[in-house]
Amino acid sequence: MSHRSRTARAYQGSLKPQPHTSGETAWNTSPDAHTNSHHYAFEQRNDDHVDLLGNKITELKQISLQIGEEVTYQLGALRDMENDFEKSGGLLGATMRRLKIMARTQNGRWMWYLIFFVLAVFLYIYLFRYKK
C-alpha cells in the first residue's frame, strides 16, 4: 500500500460523522480534523501537479524524439548534398583543366570564343529576362 493511500484513508477517517451528545450526528470539527482535511486537499493538489508534470514530460519526450528524427533526416540530406558538391567540384575542376589546355594549344582563339559566348549569354539574360 502506498503512502498516499494510507494518508488519504487517515484524512478521510477524521472526517467521519461523530455522534453528538444531543443525539444528532455532527461532523468532526476538531482542530486535527480540520488540519487533516487541509493536508488531504494539499496532497490532492500535489497529486494533480505530479500528474500534470508527468503529462508534460511525456509531451517533451515526444517532441525530443521528433527533433531527433528530424536531425537524422537533415544529416542524411546534408551528406547527400556534400556528395553532390564533391561530384560537381570534380567536374568543374576537370572542365577548368581542359579549358587551360585548350587555351594553351590554340593560341587563345578558343578563349576568345568562350569569352564571347559567356558575354552573349549574359546579354541575353539581361535583355530578355529583366526587361519584361
For the chain, what are the domain ranges? Answer: 3-129
pLDDT, mean of residues 111-132: 83
Long-range contacts of 54-59 (CB under 8 A, 24+ apart): none
- pLDDT tens, residue by residue, 43-78: 999 999 999 999 999 999 999 999 999 999 999 999
CA–CA gap between residue 115 and residue 132 (Å, rounded): 26
CB-based burial label for 62 (10 Å; 0-12, 13-18, 19+): exposed
Range of lowest pLDDT (11-15, 74-78, 89-93, 124-128): 11-15
Provide the residue type at 101 as one letter. Answer: I
Amino acid, res. 88: S
